[in-house]
Amino acid sequence: MSSQTEPRILLTRDEIAAAVRRLSAEIGKEYRGKCPLLIGILKGSFVFMADLVRSLDFPLEVEFIKLSSYGRGRESLGKVSVVSGLTSPIEGRDVLVVEDIVDTGITLSFLIDYLKKEKPASLRLCALTDKPSRRQSALTIDYLGFTVPDRFIVGYGIDWDEKFRYLPDICYLEDEK
Ligand code: PRP
């Protein structure tokens, strides 16, 4: 695919902002007063995480993990590795994993197993987008922004070949199919 492919808007910045407000209200009902630890998966979650935490009006803490399952192309390599792990213990913490997109589910399934070994008090998942048609590893998303079609999604932190993360809207690349 050419890097000149024109991204088409799938979800506007206003629709995303509304979803972030909805999700923060849902998360607030569960976590207010618990000082949860939000763990973002780099790189893709960085924009969503930044907006989500500013929408949550109660004390919380933030951590990031960098996982790698994709090369610089478009298909998952199907094998996840930890590139940069936790910097502090999560035992006894209420942990909320924050992800930009769930596709095959392989990345999150790996992360859940990885985090469970550290004995958090609770462990839930928040994803801005979900592409259930591509699922290979079953998992439950506790807080979900949008279900998206089987198209290659970019923008709002999500890349193709490290490009397009800067786009403020969530877009799809036209020649996916
Ligand atoms: C993307 C995305 C998720 C993962 C989802 O990350 O941010 O972490 O793929 O795919 P899966 O459900 O099929 O496992 P990617 O590996 O592209 O890295 P990035 O976050 O640095 O863009």
Domain boundaries of the chain, sorted by first residue? 8-173
CATH 3.40.50.10490 fits domain 8-173? no
111-148 confidence digits (pLDDT tens):
999 999 999 999 999 999 999 998 998 999 999 999 99
How confident is the model over 58-79, as pLDDT tens digits? 999 999 999 876 554 455 556 7
According to DSSP, the residues that pair with 124 across neighbouring strands are 96
40 lines ligand 1 (CB under 6 A): no
Residue 115 host element (H or E): helix 106-116
Is residue 99 within 8 A of residue 158, CB to CB? The reply is: no
In sequence order, what are the beta bridge partners of 40? 64, 98
Tokens (6 digits) for 152: 């290659």
Question: End-to-end alpha-carbon separation of the chain, Å?
Answer: 11
Residue to probe by mutation, ligand 1, list 39, 67, 69, most atoms within 8 Å of CB: 69
Residue 177 confidence class, pLDDT cut points 50, 70, 90: very low
CA–centroid distance, residue 107 to ligand 1 (Å): 7
Reported as a pLDDT band with limits 50, 70 and 90, residue 4 is low
Q: How many CB atoms lie within 10 A of CB 131?
A: 20
Catalytic positions, please? 103
